[in-house]
Amino acid sequence: MKIYLSSIMEENYFGSGRLIGIATGRKPTNLTIDFKYEYLIPSQSLLDQYYSELKMNSPNAAENFINGFRTQLNDFVNKVIKYAAEFHKTPIELLPFQEGDTLVSWERKANNNYRGLVAEALEKLGYEVVSN
């Protein structure tokens, strides 16, 4: 199943399906986000830590965020795989995504963003991911 990852601000990269939020904060007024998928959004505690470290000019802020979010995503992937095995399903059968859906966050493709980490997690679960 093919799904897309894109910036909310780059509609030309959207797939043909629904828009699913994977970001915190406000949503754009010009788009309808069908729902947010909390498991693929960095936790509030991780975000708080990151912004605190940025304020303190910590040189490790980005690395700590990446490592923390990667851990969050790995926990999610492992749980999905476990439940899929228990229910004799594939991970794709358990998750709410449909062919052509686009998971959106704010950062543009050219900027640093965490969609690459989300793409890795979804690929481990069997999705074909088009990441922009």
Residue at 17 is within a domain: yes
Do 102 and 12 touch, CB atoms closer than 8 A? no
Residue at 92 is within a domain: yes
The predicted model scores a pTM of 0.92
Residue at 97 is within a domain: yes
Contacts of 24 (CB under 8 A, 6+ apart): 41, 42, 44, 47
Domain that holds residue 13: 2-21+44-126
Residue at 78 is within a domain: yes
The pLDDT assigned to 108 comes to 83
- What digits encode the pLDDT tens for the residues 33-45? 999 999 999 999 9
Where residue 14 falls among pLDDT bands split at 50, 70, 90?
very high
Residue at 131 is within a domain: no
Number of domains in the chain: 1
Do 41 and 22 touch, CB atoms closer than 8 A? yes
Q: Give 129's strand partners.
A: 3
CA distance 39 to 76: 7
Residue at 36 is within a domain: no
Where residue 113 falls among pLDDT bands split at 50, 70, 90?
confident
Residue type, 22: I
